[in-house]
Structure 1
Amino acid sequence: MDGMVTYIGLLFISLIVGVAAGLLKGRFSGRLKKYVSSAITCMVFVLILLMGLKTGSNEAVINNLGLYGLQSLLITVCAILGSIVFAMLFERLFFKDGTG
């Protein structure tokens, strides 16, 4: 339980620091903005790497990869089709006169 509290605390601290940085974004120089952008990109790659390591080390996930892959494909296809259908419905309901 103690580890979970620490983890949640770190998440909230990260969120607060991120919001504070976002509020100050207008005061950043162009050079600092490039540095922050590069740092974010690196962190995303590290996050993806760590997620892959965690997934690859979980034997239950690896043993059921075919099933999970099929479920993921089905969810993705349904999400795409649902987005298309609702976008078309939204357009027909709210932009009847052709003005967008």
Structure 2
Amino acid sequence: MTGYDNTNRGVMFVNDRKQEGDRKPDRTGTLNVEGVEYFVDGWIKQSKSGNPFLSLSLKRKDKQPGGNHERPGQHSRTAAPQQTSRDDYGDDSDVPF
């Protein structure tokens, strides 16, 4: 089975960290546009006529400070890869080359 192609797709979830009166977004998520990954924030607003709408903000993941692909204060759900050293592989003195 091949990997799922997320190109030109996105997803948003309810921001469970928002508290009453916060200016934080009501919805957060990610979006892929032509292979470029973005963070998406959304605020539920009301037009002058009373109709609800979603106001959006996009930020490129690769343009975040330090090249970080996570939102500030957000932790990755996967562990960072461990760096290995030559000593981690044991003694190689019996290798014929």
Q: Per the shorter chain, which TM-score range?
A: under 0.3
**Higher-strand-fraction structure:** 2
Q: Which has the higher helix share?
A: 1
TM-score normalised to structure 2 length = 0.26
Greater RCO structure (CA 8 Å; 6+ sep)? 2
